[in-house]
Amino acid sequence: MNFLKTEDVVKQYSGHLALNKVSIEVPEGKIFGLLGPNGAGKTTLIRIINRITAPDSGSVLFDGRKSRPEDIYRIGYMPEERGLYKKMKVGEQAVYLAQLKGLSYPEARKRLVKWFEEFEIISWWNKKLEELSKGMQQKVQFIITVIHEPELLIFDEPFSGFDPVNTDRLKQEILKLKEAGRTIIFSTHNMSSVEEICDDIALINRSEVVLSGHVSEIRSRFKTNTFTLIVRSRVNPADLPPDLFSVLKLNVSDDSTELQIKKSGELSNSELLVRLAKQYEIISFTEELPSMNDIFINTVSGTNL
């Protein structure tokens, strides 16, 4: 079931179309990747979902009905440009922001103390934000995003500015949130993390959705019928059946051969494997799916032409 849906969202800024009939469907309990190059309109879409700005036309649906002002309490949002009050004490600041998300003062305090302890920053409670290191500030930022236990979490470029240790920590936290049944929208350029954690994606380019669906489905949609094949013998290219595939690469070593082949015709993978198995002792047979990175670059530069 879709937790969130946008239907034909259009947003126009003076002389510039930021979003053109953008429709996305975010399934409940999944991690949804919102991809696209800089300036494609991702942040505008996120702001519309957050009700920070209103669309010119089109609508945002929560649980199948139009989004309402109180829906913002069901969202936790970590913007790309992160910032907090520099001169304010960390704890006080977190309580304030949690209260604005609808928590009562005692409840906000109780939960925050728990989170601060878990992230081992409780001793910083009474320090001013500007005294904290960047990594610690990011931890505070994350806590503030999730403190009101929202059903939907939106992370805009969450890994920018994180060191590898903290990036991993954040990834784990995001996966934990998914386990807890939360829906997550995740906007990023970092394609490796997309393959790792996203279930579905929508690729926005030049204000329009140019690609969407399950990550695995998209990758197979873009498959080029390329396989890597390793066999236990020295292969003579002339011996290969000419009608089944073309050879892209051939690496002959002492006792094995690695080939990259491109399947031709309507042959299924199994049939191909059977034909090959008759002729050679097969060590491995892998279909090469394109990486999200390749798909991203392909799609974006393709539509740019």
Partner 1 sequence: MSKLGIIIKREYLRRVSKKSFIILTILTPFLFVAMIAVTFWLATIKGDEVHTVAIMDTTGKYASLFKDTESYRFIHSDKSLSDYRQNPDKEITAFLTITDDLLKNPKAAALYSEKQIPGELSRMVNQVLTKQLESEKLASYDIPNLKEIIADSKVNFSIQTIKWGEDGKEGASSTMVASLVGILFTVIVFMFIMMYGAMVMQGVMEEKTNRIIEIMVSSVRPFDLMMGKIVGIGFVGLTQVFLWGILTFVLTGIGQFALGGAVDPATIGQGANMMSPAMDMTDMGSMGQTGEWLEILSTINFTEIISFFILYFIGGYLLYASVFAAIGSAVDQPEDTQQFMTPILIFMTFAFYAGMYSMENPDGPLAFWCSFIPLTSPIVMMIRLPFDVPMWQNIVSVVLLYATSIGITWLSAKIYRVGILMYGKKPNIKEMIKWVKYK
By beta-carbon proximity to partner 1, the closer residue of 142 and 227 is 142
How many residues are present in the chain?
A: 305
Least Cβ distance, residue 31 to partner 1 (angstroms): 20
Number of residues engaging partner 1 in binding (CB under 8 A): 29
Binding-site string for partner 1 from residue 19 to residue 38, where x marks contact by CB under 8 A and - marks none? --------------------
Least Cβ distance, residue 119 to partner 1 (angstroms): 18
Cβ-count burial 85-106 (b if 16+ within 10 Å, e if not)? eeeebbbebbbebbeebebeee
By beta-carbon proximity to partner 1, the closer residue of 130 and 217 is 130
Question: Residue 171 in contact with residue 31, Cβ under 8 Å?
Answer: no
Residue span binding partner 1 (CB under 8 A) among the ranges 34-42, 65-73, 159-167, 237-245: 65-73
The tokens for 222 are 């873009």
Binding to partner 1 in span 237-266, by CB under 8 A: none
Least Cβ distance, residue 91 to partner 1 (angstroms): 14
By beta-carbon proximity to partner 1, the closer residue of 72 and 136 is 72
Residue 281 CA to residue 239 CA, distance in Å, equals 14
Binding-site string for partner 1 from residue 188 to residue 227, where x marks contact by CB under 8 A and - marks none? ----------------------------------------
Strands ordered across the beta sheet of 245-252: 245-252, 257-263, 226-231, 282-287
**Kind and range of the H or E element at 246?**
strand 245-252
By beta-carbon proximity to partner 1, the closer residue of 20 and 226 is 20
Residue 259 CA to residue 296 CA, distance in Å, equals 26
By beta-carbon proximity to partner 1, the closer residue of 88 and 244 is 88
SS3 assignment for 153-192: EEEECCCCCCCHHHHHHHHHHHHHHHHCCCEEEEEECCHH
Binding-site string for partner 1 from residue 71 to residue 110, where x marks contact by CB under 8 A and - marks none? -xx-x-x-x-xxxxxx-x-------xx-xxx---------
Contacts of 54 (CB under 8 A, 6+ apart): 48
Question: Residue 112 in contact with residue 147, Cβ under 8 Å?
Answer: yes
Question: Residue 292 in contact with residue 221, Cβ under 8 Å?
Answer: no
Binding to partner 1 in span 36-55, by CB under 8 A: 47, 50-55
By beta-carbon proximity to partner 1, the closer residue of 51 and 214 is 51
Q: Is 291 in the site for partner 1 (CB under 8 A)?
A: no
Binding to partner 1 in span 139-158, by CB under 8 A: 144
Least Cβ distance, residue 7 to partner 1 (angstroms): 17
Which of 14, 38, 126, 270: binder of partner 1 (CB under 8 A)? 14
Question: Which residue has 């999730």 as its token pair?
Answer: 146
- Give the residue among 257, 255, 79 at the shortest CA–CA distance from 157: 79
Chain contacts with partner 1 (rule: CB under 8 A): 13-14, 47, 50-56, 69, 72-73, 75, 77, 79, 81-86, 88, 96-97, 99-101, 144
